[in-house]
Amino acid sequence: MQADIGLIGLAVMGENLVLNMESKGFNVAVFNRSVEVVEKFEAGRGKGKNFVFAKTLEEFVGSLKRPRKAQIMVKAGAPVDAVIAQLAPLFEAGDIIIDGGNSLWTDTQRREKALKEKGIHYFGVGVSGGEEGALKGPSIMPGGSKEGWQALAPIYQKIAAVVEGEPCCRHMGPDGAGHYVKMAHNGIEYGDMQLICEAYAILKAALNPTADEFAEIFTEWNKTDLDSFLIEITSKIFKRKDPETGKPIVDIVLDKAGQKGTGKWTVGHAVEMGVPLSVIGSAVDARILSSLKDERVAASKVLKGPETKPYTGDRAALIAAVRDALYASKIMSYAQGMVQLGHASELYNWGLNFGDIASIWRGGCIIRARFLNRITEAYRKNPGLKNLMLDPFFADALQRTQPGWRKAVQTAIEYGVASPSFSSALSYFDSYRSANLPANLLQAQRDFFGAHTFERVDKPGIFHADWYS
């Protein structure tokens, strides 16, 4: 049997992806560094299916139809280079190597350049949706040559999630574009998750709902503009009880967040390009602060917050305000993420299409959400849109949600609850919509101590004031 595509690295994501490919009618070759993993798959989930269970890399390569296509699904970093070093000598010009992990886009650019010299097409492909998505239809963000994409499109577009008849997979651009878009997706994922956590924290401090009540709140929110995978799983999380203690699982999970690194990469590069990414930045910081559990416990005994009183206002109105704050902050986070993608696209000459990006995030991926339809429309209508906030639909939404947004942040402040992402989102909104900012004073300070000069509001030119006379 000749295989349409091969996959190296049979961990859960790899296994699920090949099962997805096979179920869509493709013959798939599989290989893993430890042969036992292949044997286990052959005897287990792969049994009786159209797979080539390769026991050596030579057998794997020999089974692939030309142009050969091999997807690597191993840990990002050195393991990817190690697999390429073994695979590339067995591949010929025109063949395609794909990295489907969360690799750093600059690594992908480096690898693409090196393999191009041998005529091998190298693809950095972002795959989102976790284990379930990989099996049933992920969102796929491929980056690589147009020629290579023609050979890959029939496979990837068939295994991707489908929304309104469109596969959640489009060619993002050359070299590192796919991995960059996936990284930005993950940054937005960080923002979305933190915003949900802040909504939870504010409501908990002011109203103290039970886990079942929280489940109900999120179930209701999921019927609104907030309709999304992350809100849906949040409502499910609140319903789940710990079998050992009978308590809601959410109450026994330790409040220390982990992170593998894509959020930090996103923020780091935004800073390097001079793009404000405060919502995602604050979400990364919040994870870091949460991980300082021991320090926080010690500090909580020394540093006291405000005296709080039971909430006397209208409960339903506060829940609605927090909902609005979540939605508005989410718009800010996506607005910033899209600006970042625009800058990266210019920097690397990728020609990213924001309508396409938003459209393939509508299904399959972790950030999938109903409002991505609106973002898709906004960029399809106006590909040169400077900031998502300026699209009429979103400008209206921000106008409508603004009172609730401010009320939610005020409540957080009143109760001494940290709401870094709600607050930074609101500050971004207030800064961006301000014709005047206090940077006049800042420029004066710079000129005072460093003679850095300033421009004037009343005439053109560059000026320096005599501050010391």
Catalytic residue numbers read 182, 189
Cβ(250)–Cβ(211) under 8 Å?
yes
Part of the chain binding ligand 6PG (CB under 6 A), chosen from 233-241, 246-254, 260-268, 432-440: 260-268
Pick between residue 102 and residue 401 the one whose CB is nearest to ligand 6PG.
102
Pick between residue 129 and residue 337 the one whose CB is nearest to ligand 6PG.
129
Which positions from 178 through 197 interact with ligand 6PG, judged by CB under 6 A? 186, 189
Which positions from 355 through 374 interact with ligand 6PG, judged by CB under 6 A? 365-366
Shortest Cβ 339–ligand 6PG spacing (Å): 21
Which positions from 85 through 124 interact with ligand 6PG, judged by CB under 6 A? 102
Cβ(331)–Cβ(390) under 8 Å?
no
Residue 63 as a binder of ligand 6PG (CB under 6 A): the answer is no
Please report where in the chains the tokens 């080539």 appear, as a residue: 52
Residue 209 as a binder of ligand 6PG (CB under 6 A): the answer is no
CA dihedral 456, 459, 465, 469 (to 10 degrees): -130
Pick between residue 96 and residue 188 the one whose CB is nearest to ligand 6PG.
188
Shortest Cβ 366–ligand 6PG spacing (Å): 4
User: Which residue in the set 106, 145, 259, 387 belongs to the binding site for ligand 6PG (CB under 6 A)?
Assistant: 259
Q: Please report which residue ranges of 49-104 form alpha helices under DSSP H.
A: 57-62, 78-87
Which positions from 229 through 258 interact with ligand 6PG, judged by CB under 6 A? 258
Instruction: Return the number of other C-beta atoms located less than 10 Å from residue 271's C-beta.
Output: 12
Distance CA 311, CA 128 (A): 40
Cβ(195)–Cβ(188) under 8 Å?
no
Q: How far is CA 350 from CA 105, 231, 402, in A?
A: 12, 32, 35
Residue 324 as a binder of ligand 6PG (CB under 6 A): the answer is no
Shortest Cβ 40–ligand 6PG spacing (Å): 24
Residue 225 as a binder of ligand 6PG (CB under 6 A): the answer is no
Residue 129 phi, psi dihedral angles, 5° rounding: 135, 0
Pick between residue 4 and residue 15 the one whose CB is nearest to ligand 6PG.
15
Q: Nearest Cα to 119, choosing from 190, 67, 64, 188?
A: 67
Q: How far is CA 362 from CA 95, 128, 241, 246, in A?
A: 31, 11, 30, 36
The residues of the shown chain that bind ligand 6PG, judged by CB under 6 A, are 102, 128-130, 186, 189, 258-260, 262-263, 365-366
